[in-house]
A and B are shown apart, each in its own frame.
Chain A
Amino acid sequence: MNWQLWSRQVDAVAWVEFKRFWLSRRAIGIYIIALAPNFLMLPLLIRPGRAGMLSTAYAVFFEMFWLRLVIFFGCASIFSQFFRGEILQKTLHYYLLVPVRREIVVLGKYLAAFSGTAMLFSLTTISSYLLYWGRSARGRDFLAGSAGIPELARYVAVVIIACAAYGALFLLLGLLFKNPMLPSMFVLTWESLNYVLPAELQRVSIVHYLRPLLPVILPRGPFVILTEPPSPLVGIPGLMLVTAALLVLAGLVLRRTEITYSAD
Chain B
Amino acid sequence: MALPEDRIVTFDNVSKFYGETLGVNRVSLSFEPGITSLVGPNGAGKTTLMNLMTGLLRPTRGQVQVLGFRPSDSENMFRRVGYCTQFDYFPKGVTGHDLIYSLLRMHGYGRSEAGSMTHRVIDRVGMSDAADRKVAGYSKGMRQRIKLALAIAHEPRVLVLDEPLNGLDPMARSEVIELFCDLGRAGMHVIISSHILHEVDIISDRIVMMSNGYVVAEGDIQGVRSEMEDHPMQILIRCDRPALVASLVFQQDSVVEARIHKDGQGLLVSTRNPDQFYRLLNRIVLDNQLSIEGIEPADENVHSVYEYLIGGSNGGPIT
What residues make up the interface of A, taking CB atoms closer than 8 Å to B? Answer: 5, 8-9, 12-13, 15-16, 20, 24, 89-91, 93-102, 255-256, 258-261, 263-264
Contact between chains at A89 and B91 (CB < 8 Å)? yes
Contact between chains at B56 and A16 (CB < 8 Å)? no
Contact between chains at A13 and B106 (CB < 8 Å)? yes
Q: Decide yes or no whether B105 CB sits under 8 A from chain A.
A: yes
Contact between chains at A12 and B102 (CB < 8 Å)? yes
The 9 A-B residue pairs with the shortest CB-CB distance, nearest first, are: A99-B78, A12-B105, A90-B89, A259-B56, A263-B86, A16-B102, A12-B106, A99-B79, A98-B106
In the complex, besides A90-B87, A99-B74, A99-B107, 18 extra interface pairs with C-beta distance below 8 angstroms are: A8-B108, A16-B105, A20-B92, A90-B89, A93-B85, A94-B91, A94-B103, A97-B83, A98-B74, A98-B78, A98-B106, A99-B75, A99-B79, A101-B75, A258-B56, A259-B51, A261-B87, A263-B85
Closest to A89 in B: B89
| Chain B interface, number of residues (Cβ within 8 angstroms) | 33
Q: How far is the CA of A259 from the CA of B55 in the complex (A)?
A: 9
List of A residues within 8 angstroms of B105 by Cβ: 12, 15-16
Q: Decide yes or no whether B116 CB sits under 8 A from chain A.
A: no
List of A residues within 8 angstroms of B75 by Cβ: 99-101
Contact between chains at B106 and A263 (CB < 8 Å)? no
Q: Which of B38-90 contact A (CB under 8 A)?
A: 47, 51, 54-58, 72, 74-79, 83, 85-90
Q: How far is the CA of A163 from the CA of B196 in the complex (A)?
A: 53
Contact between chains at A96 and B18 (CB < 8 Å)? no
Q: Which of B58, B87, B94, B106 contacts A93 (CB 8 A)?
A: B87
List of A residues within 8 angstroms of B103 by Cβ: 94, 98
Q: Decide yes or no whether B311 CB sits under 8 A from chain A.
A: no
CB distance from A64 to the nearest CB of B (A): 36
Contact between chains at A24 and B74 (CB < 8 Å)? no
Q: How far is the CA of A218 from the CA of B92 in the complex (A)?
A: 44
Q: Which of A16, A100, A102, A263 contacts B87 (CB 8 A)?
A: A263
Q: How far is the CA of A186 from the CA of B249 in the complex (A)?
A: 68
Q: Which of A8, A89, A95, A264 contacts B92 (CB 8 A)?
A: A89
Q: Decide yes or no whether B219 CB sits under 8 A from chain A.
A: no
Closest to A258 in B: B57
List of B residues within 8 angstroms of A261 by Cβ: 87
Q: Decide yes or no whether B93 CB sits under 8 A from chain A.
A: yes
Q: How far is the CA of A263 from the CA of B92 in the complex (A)?
A: 17
Contact between chains at B74 and A259 (CB < 8 Å)? no
List of B residues within 8 angstroms of A101 by Cβ: 74-75
Closest to A5 in B: B108
List of A residues within 8 angstroms of B92 by Cβ: 20, 24, 89
Contact bitstring B142-172, A, C-beta under 8 A = 1, else 0: 0000000000000000000000000000000
A20/B58 contact (C-beta < 8 A), A13-B106, A99-B79 known: no
Contact between chains at B74 and A96 (CB < 8 Å)? yes
Q: Which of A20, A91, A93, A260 contacts B18 (CB 8 A)?
A: A260
CB distance from B14 to the nearest CB of A (A): 14
Q: How far is the CA of A13 from the CA of B57 in the complex (A)?
A: 22
Contact between chains at B47 and A263 (CB < 8 Å)? yes
Q: Which of B18, B78, B89 contacts A97 (CB 8 A)?
A: B78
Q: How far is the CA of A154 from the CA of B106 in the complex (A)?
A: 36
Q: How far is the CA of A256 from the CA of B107 in the complex (A)?
A: 21
Q: How far is the CA of A101 from the CA of B77 in the complex (A)?
A: 11
CB distance from B309 to the nearest CB of A (A): 21
Contact bitstring B98-114, A, C-beta under 8 A = 1, else 0: 01001101111000000
Q: How far is the CA of A90 from the CA of B85 in the complex (A)?
A: 12
Of the A-B pairs whose beta carbons lie under 8 Å apart in the complex, a sample of 22, sorted by A's number, is: A12-B105, A12-B106, A12-B108, A15-B105, A20-B91, A90-B89, A91-B89, A91-B90, A94-B91, A96-B56, A96-B74, A97-B78, A97-B83, A98-B106, A98-B107, A99-B78, A99-B108, A100-B107, A101-B74, A259-B56, A263-B47, A264-B88
List of B residues within 8 angstroms of A20 by Cβ: 91-94
Q: How far is the CA of A91 from the CA of B89 in the complex (A)?
A: 6
List of B residues within 8 angstroms of A5 by Cβ: 108
List of A residues within 8 angstroms of B83 by Cβ: 97
Q: How far is the CA of A263 from the CA of B85 in the complex (A)?
A: 9
Q: How far is the CA of A63 from the CA of B88 in the complex (A)?
A: 45
Q: How far is the CA of A101 from the CA of B85 in the complex (A)?
A: 20
List of B residues within 8 angstroms of A24 by Cβ: 92-93
List of A residues within 8 angstroms of B51 by Cβ: 259
Q: How far is the CA of A5 from the CA of B108 in the complex (A)?
A: 6
Closest to A108 in B: B106
CB distance from A71 to the nearest CB of B (A): 26
Q: How far is the CA of A101 from the CA of B47 in the complex (A)?
A: 23
Q: How far is the CA of A221 from the CA of B7 in the complex (A)?
A: 69
Q: How far is the CA of A261 from the CA of B308 in the complex (A)?
A: 27
